[in-house]
A = this chain, B = another copy of it.
Amino acid sequence: MNSTIEKRIAAIRQMLVEKELDALMVSIQENRYYLSGFTGEDTQFDESAGVLIISDRHLVLATDSRYELQAQSQAPGFDVVCYPKGLEKELPEIAASLGIRRLGVESVRISQKNYTAYADALAKMNPKVALTPTENMVESLRQIKSEEEIQRTVAALRLAENAFARTIDALRPGMTEKQVAWSMEKTMREAGAQGLSFPVIVASGPNSALPHAVPTDRRLAPGEPILIDWGARVDEYCSDTTRTVVMGPPDDHFLKVYDTVVEARDLAIAAIRAGAGGTGIDKVARDHISRNGFAGKFGHSLGHGTGLAVHERPRLSPIKNDRLEAGMIVTVEPGIYIPGWGGIRMENQIVVRPDGAQVLNDPAPFTPRIRV
Chain A residues 130-156 with CB under 8 Å of chain B are 133, 135
Interface of A is mostly: loop
Chain A residues 294-328 with CB under 8 Å of chain B are 299-300, 309-311, 319
Which interface class (under 10, 10 to 19, 20 to 34, 35 or more) fits A? 35 or more
A78 within 8 A of B: no
Contact A116–B109 (Cβ < 8 Å):
no
**Residue numbers in B under 8 Å from A18 (CB-CB):** none
Contact A133–B112 (Cβ < 8 Å):
yes
Comparing A62-70, A161-169, A244-252, the segment that makes contact with chain B is: A62-70
Chain A residues 51-107 with CB under 8 Å of chain B are 65-67, 69-70, 85, 105, 107
Picked from B45, B198, B212, B311, the residue with its CB within 8 Å of the CB of A67 is B212
A110 within 8 A of B: yes
Given that A210-B69, A299-B65, A311-B47 are contacting pairs, would A116 and B111 also be in contact in the complex, using a CB cutoff of 8 Å?
no
A residues at B contact (CB < 8 Å): 28-29, 39, 42-47, 65-67, 69-70, 85, 105, 107-113, 115-116, 133, 135, 182, 185-186, 189-190, 198, 210-212, 214, 299-300, 309-311, 319
Of the A-B pairs whose beta carbons lie under 8 Å apart in the complex, a sample of 5, sorted by A's number, is: A28-B45, A44-B309, A46-B108, A70-B212, A107-B112
